[in-house]
Structure 1
Amino acid sequence: MSLWYIIAAIVFFASILIAKKNTRKTKKNLPPGPPRLPIIGNLHQLGSHPHRSMFKLSGKYGSLMSLKFGNVSAVVASTPETVKDVLKTFDLECCSRPYMTYAARISYNLKDLAFCPYSNYWREVRKLTVIELYTAKRVQSFGDIRKEEVACFADFIKQSASLKNKVNLNQKLLKLSASVICRVGFGISLKGSKLENTYEEVIEGIMEVLGSFTAADYFPVIGSFIDRITGLHSKCEKFFKAMDRFFDQSIKHHLEDETIKDDIIDLLLNMERGEVGLGEFQLTRNHTKGILLNVLIAGIDTSGHTVTWVMTHLIKNPRVLKKAQAEVREVIKNKDDIKEEDIQQLEYLKMVIKETLRINPLVPLLVPREASKDIKIAGYDIPKKTWIHVNIWAVHRNPNVWKDPDAFIPERFMDKEIDYKGLNFELLPFGSGRRMCPGIGMGMALVHLTLINLLYRFDWKLPDGMKVEDVDLEESYGLVCPKKVPLQLIPVLTQWT
């Protein structure tokens, strides 16, 4: 009996030694990162603005940093070099998505383009949206709609100017974007739609939910319970149902009016009926709604909030505002028919837009990616299934890349071939690679047309008693980061109004 005890002890200790040896052999060279608390990991270090907190941490732990969120292992890329590795060098290995509870709910169980894992279905949907909705020809074909909606918006500003009323630009610019997207993407007017009175709350609510660090994703056993206590679950359901009603209304409108042709809903309905194919896939109604989700939320937020941030920085920098207006008025002169193509001659205004997108990227922390296999970046091991966060805000505020990164200086782009279309890794407001936002052309066309009208037709001043120093630059946090305190300005009629 004692012999068996001795044998068992030998086997036991031998097993421990072998296990330790194997552990040493398989130990990963992970990127450095801050110490973690039990159970929650580094969640307590994120704060209310995770992109800012991660940027601060990266200053101590490096351009590629390891973090732990509950059960999830993650890395954060924070410099042009590491971001290029993720979005270009290892784009294929890093372009899938982890499963995210509320993103799955809002996207009809990942039937969309933004949150769907990399797959054959994703490739087909990407091809569909790029070819059918976001080509240069398609963007140009919607030009009349943009002109009509911007003209109505300008009329409202003109009326406010005549009454010397201040205008809430956050609110009005979001409404302008919503009006254009409803007509372009859904074939109906915002007025009278299911979103007419709630579009601002619904869109911003969805973005807040999608940008939240969700307990259900990090704590599989108790996470859903925590989200119900915090109200995140009920908030998701509320905004999802409001959006779903709008989709039902838009689809019903198309089914009842056979004269509506050649828009995205018409194409998707034909696919549902099998009249048009999507590769090997047969679309259901939930597929249609999932694809429409990206058209709705990306289209409205991108242009509306971008113009708001541009106007914020212009009013806060009178020198830049004066210079931008002088250029616009010199190029447009006494022409009342302003065209989107006029932006090609407005070199300084294009620099103002780039500088705005640098300082206030609308998606400062890109939607998380997931490594589909073991890879090595910057000499560090990134194991399969690791979540990968790309901190665009950190890249845009990097003092090694940008001189005086917190200052608004459009002239920094003078004589520099740097654009925001995904090829320059020091300026990536719309991402890069396979997961880059496909709707840049559509969104920026409205940004350009709106800004030219605002700067050409009106002068702008702050409400009485308010100084330039009082203009707040704080952003709200969500998947998209709009200006937190609404920008309220008083328009002044000019000779061109």
Structure 2
Amino acid sequence: MVNAYVVVILSLSFLFLIHCLLFRRRGRSNGAQLPPSPPAIPFFGHLHLIENPLHAALSQLAERHGPVFSLRLGSRSAVVVSSPECARECLTENDVCFANRPRFPSQLPVSFDGTSLGNSNFGPHWRSLRRIASVHFLSAQRVGGMSGVISDEVRAMARRMYRAASVSPGGAARVQLKRRLFELSLSVLMEAVAQTKTTRQEADGTDADTDMSVEAQEYKHVLDELNPLLGAANLWDYLPALRWFDVFGTKRKIMTAVNKRNAFVRRLIDTERQRLDDDDDDGSSNGAKKSMISELLTLQKTEPEVYTDTVIMTLCTSLFTAGTDSTSTTIEWAMSLLLNHPKILKKAQAEIDSYVGNSRLIAAEDMPHLIYLQCIISETLRLYPVLPLLIPHESSGDCRVGGYDVPSGTMLLVNIVAVHRDPSVWKDAETFRPERFEDGMRDDGLLVMMPFGMGRRKCPGETLGLRVVGLALGTLIHCFDWERVDGVDVSMAEGGGLSMSKVVPLEAMCKPRDTMGDALGKLF
């Protein structure tokens, strides 16, 4: 049996090599000027060059081959851009050409067979989803209306942290921020999407201080199962022959995690549908403000062919996936940077004290006036964008990038980290220096910030994400003094995967500020 497998693999490798040689010859014969490429090996192409973190490996290749180079990742062709000029060229001048998404077999079940907002190709279906999301989920009016929900959840987090510190030796608690921040992000979305508060209580009915809510644990467990199985880590997205064997049970693991995720969201939808039916029966709706799901279910009654259960599931799932881990990760990176730069942390506290004072907590209307806090967020997103390569794009036709020909069907990877740390554009590019944004960002065609992407596939949740990040980070800075555990520098090691997570989750010593004692006491 083993020998048979070896024969099959060798035969497939031989056929694939012939295909690559013929393809390469055909590419040369039409006179195309393709981007430069590192030496490849048969069958695998350049997969042997893929290392974690991927953006760092691609930056090293860009140093040798230039800001535009091509890779062959098994059966897939890819082009990597690493300069601000070329990134802008791809996402503005060639925006329509690169508006599609590559179809990865591992992500099809995750993305409802490639029909989710983030994974669907450019066309009528995507435009419909984008319109629904922009109008009913992520409009400026909807996000503005969520400010109260965000503030309530941020204050609940501050209250739990204050209580935990109050019962700790020396009045300071050792906190793992990622867990609390993930719960905060999920709680905001649970309340906004389904008007469902997370259950986080101990047996005596008081708020627990030591762990996440049941819902947050459930959803985080699903994401922890899915993330390692997606992206470059899954070789059978690039080597089709491996799908025949799947000796590691990758497909089964993906389907198990996806079923758990879908069951989680389906429960929310079913609960909202029952609530609507009950309101209709007793006439008790009274024009009350509806959750996002309730609003879509109401529209479903008049336009069932547009607002299908699958569409509602797809949009809710996209919002939960994009809005939980990304928001909490950004705040975690920001706090890690501030703990390693205590003078910047003190400067941020001084700004908030000067404008907000110490008798109350930060509110949404304060954010436009806290310029230095906004600079810290911008500098964090410059150095540690949540999606260091964005979501991959794919060309729908032939185009030119950086003077090179890019054939149709080529996957595009935009190395945002390289763009944001280009030393020819950014002074002290590797240094955390929020002051660089104090006079406003210069936009002369060279200096670009694109942590949420650019063009028509830009992340539509930017406004909501920044609102949560600003209020949460500002509250943590305003209400507490922070110290590194045992005085040791916080590790800034970057993990692999689709998002830029920390290898070592941030732990820090949290102590309520003496000047904020009265304001924190009012939270109970």
Q: Check the 8 A contact 2:70/2:79 in 1, yes or no.
A: yes
The amino acid across from 1:334 in the alignment is N
Tell me what 1:296 maps to: 320
Partner of 1:493: 512
Hey, what does 2:363 align to over in structure 1? Answer: 339
Residue equivalent to 2:495: 476
* Alignment equivalent of 2:117, drawn from 100, 113, 117: 113
Matching of residues 136-215 of structure 1 within 5 Å: 136-162=140-166, 163=168, 164-191=172-199, 195-215=215-235
2:488 is matched with 467
Matched, 1:131 2:142: no
Q: For 1:271 and 1:37, how far apart are their aligned partners in 2? A: 54
Paired residue for 1:9? none
**Structure 1, gaps ≥5 residues long:** 1-18
Q: 28, 31, 42: which one pairs with 1:38?
A: 42
Structure-2 change in CA distance of 1:304 and 1:23 (3 Å):
closer
Q: Give the match for residue 258 of structure 2.
A: 240
2:463 to 428, 441, 447: 441
3-state SS of paired residue (2:79): strand
CA contact (8 A) 1:160 1:167 kept: no
CA–CA separation in structure 2 for the residues paired with 1:448 and 1:196: 21
- Name which of 399, 407, 414 aligns with 2:438: 414
SS in 1 for 2:173: coil
For 1:24 and 1:307, locate their aligned partners in 2 and report how far apart those are by CA, in whole Å.
48
The within-5 A match list for 1:366-405 is 366-405=390-429
**1:82 pairs with 2:86:** yes
How far off is 1:251 after superposition? 1.1
Match of 2:282 in 1: none
CA distance 1:331–1:216, shift in 2 (3 Å): same
Taking structure 1 as reference, are residues 417 and 38 closer, same or farther at Cα in structure 2, changes over 3 Å only? same
Runs of 4+ in 1 over 6 A off after TM superposition: 19-23
TM (norm. structure 1) is 0.89
TM-superposed CA distance for 1:492, in Å, is 1.3
Question: TM-score, normalising length from structure 2?
Answer: 0.84
Counterparts of 2:56 and 2:478, CA distance in 1: 35
Partner residue in 2 for 1:56: 60
Partners of 1:24 and 1:372 in 2: how far apart? 21
Q: Confirm or deny: 8 A CA contact 2:190 2:196 kept in the other structure.
A: yes
For the pair 1:254 / 2:258, whether they are aligned, the reply is no
Report the more deviating stretch, 167-176 or 299-308.
Answer: 299-308
Aligned partner of 2:238 among 218, 221, 227:
218
Match of 1:14 in 2: none
SS in structure 2 at match of 1:68: strand
Go from structure 1 to structure 2 and tell me whether the alpha carbon gap of 1:283 and 1:144 turns closer, same or farther (over 3 Å shift).
closer
Contact 1:83 1:425 in 2 (8 A): no
Two-structure CA RMSD over aligned residues (Å):
2.3
CA contact (8 A) 2:85 2:446 kept: no
SS at match of 1:216: helix
Report if aligned partners of 1:310, 1:352 keep a CA contact under 8 Å in 2. Answer: yes
Of all paired residues, the percent bearing the same amino acid is 32
Paired letter, 1:265 = I
Instruction: Structure 2: state its 5+ residue gaps.
Output: 1-22, 201-212, 280-284, 518-524
